[in-house]
């Protein structure tokens, strides 16, 4: 189950890492957000244009099913640096890190980003997003339910999950994304998942930019061969700084608008 919880976290983390939404250029394909409800589309565009430009400090904590801390680390991410050194481990389990730990950490980060994984954004059917009914004009957040579509090779049955995206009514900024398991599901012969969820929180960093991710969390509970297992992971981000991504130094002109991968 620990691997399942971490897999959920990785899927969400990968979904929001390295996204980019450059200004459209002449002759490029139609807007990928065409047909998406206007407030939701505006929120995704606003987030996407600044997402790859944030450097930040991240604190990661893993808990077991009883809420006890298993592991924690603090690291700095800086997309303006070369790919090999964009992540710098600062502390692990409250202790200073060694050179070997730094090398191992950077290798794991690179593997996580490069390994072919199904991203949550690939399964979101944004054009079928629906505003939840009976939301009065007085509410500050607009909540959309976004259905999932099946992804070839993925063990997750889309009909078992719900995704809710919350957008600020006033300025159409992303506020939060929640993924929840509707009902228990068996993913392998001996792995029975009874509950699972993931949560992403966004926060304004500067008045002239889109929001940045402030927190990512995922949890799961179930059993392996009838033995109860479960856990929770959390990542919080702080000390944001807007930088020029390393990739941008090689860009001659703006590229096409890319769909945001949540």
How many CB atoms within 10 Å of residue 262?
Answer: 24
Outline where 115-243 has alpha helix (H).
Answer: 120-123
d(CA 88, CA 78): 8
d(CA 104, CA 110): 10
Residue 131: which H helix or E strand, with range? strand 130-131
Look at phi and psi of residue 136 and say left if phi exceeds 0, alpha if psi is from -120 to 50, else beta: beta
Look at residue 47 in the predicted model and tell me its pLDDT. Answer: 92
Percent of residues in the chain assigned helix, strand, coil, to nearest 5: 25, 35, 40
Handedness of CA 148, 187, 153, 115 (dihedral sign): positive
Look at residue 260 in the predicted model and tell me its pLDDT. Answer: 52
φ, ψ of residue 124 in degrees (nearest 5):
-75, 125
Question: Strands 191-203 and 185-186, how do they pair?
Answer: antiparallel
> What is the chain's pLDDT, residue by residue, as a tens digit (262 residues)?
455 455 544 444 444 443 344 444 455 556 778 899 999 999 999 998 999 999 999 999 999 999 999 999 999 999 999 999 999 999 999 999 999 999 999 999 988 776 555 566 677 899 999 999 988 888 899 999 999 988 776 677 888 899 999 999 999 999 999 999 998 888 777 788 899 999 999 999 999 999 999 999 999 999 888 888 899 999 999 999 999 999 887 654 444 344 454 4
Look at residue 189 in the predicted model and tell me its pLDDT. Answer: 73
């Amino acid at each position: 189950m620990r691997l399942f919880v971490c897999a959920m976290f990785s899927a969400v983390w990968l979904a929001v890492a390295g996204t980019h939404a450059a200004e459209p250029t002449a002759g490029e394909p139609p807007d990928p957000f065409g047909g998406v409800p206007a407030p939701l589309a505006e929120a995704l565009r606003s987030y996407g244009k600044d997402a790859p430009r944030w450097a930040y400090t991240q604190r990661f904590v893993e808990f077991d099913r009883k809420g006890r801390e298993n592991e924690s680390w603090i690291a700095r991410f800086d997309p303006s640096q070369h790919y090999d050194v964009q992540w710098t481990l600062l502390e692990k389990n409250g202790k200073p890190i060694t050179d070997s730990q730094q090398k191992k950490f950077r290798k794991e980060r690179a593997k996580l980003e490069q390994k072919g994984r199904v991203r949550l954004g690939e399964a979101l059917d944004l054009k079928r997003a629906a505003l939840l009914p009976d939301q009065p004009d007085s509410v500050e957040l607009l909540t959309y339910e976004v259905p999932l579509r099946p992804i070839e090779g993925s063990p997750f049955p889309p009909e078992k999950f719900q995704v809710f995206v919350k957008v600020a009514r006033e300025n159409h900024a992303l506020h939060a994304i929640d993924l929840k398991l509707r009902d228990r599901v068996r993913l392998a012969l001996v792995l029975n998942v009874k509950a699972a969820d993931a949560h992403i929180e966004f926060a304004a960093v500067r008045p002239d930019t889109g929001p940045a991710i402030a927190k990512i969390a995922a949890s799961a509970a179930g059993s392996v061969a009838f033995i109860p297992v479960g856990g929770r992971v959390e990542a919080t981000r702080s000390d944001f700084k807007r930088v020029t991504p390393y990739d941008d130094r090689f860009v001659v002109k703006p590229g096409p608008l890319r769909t945001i991968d949540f």
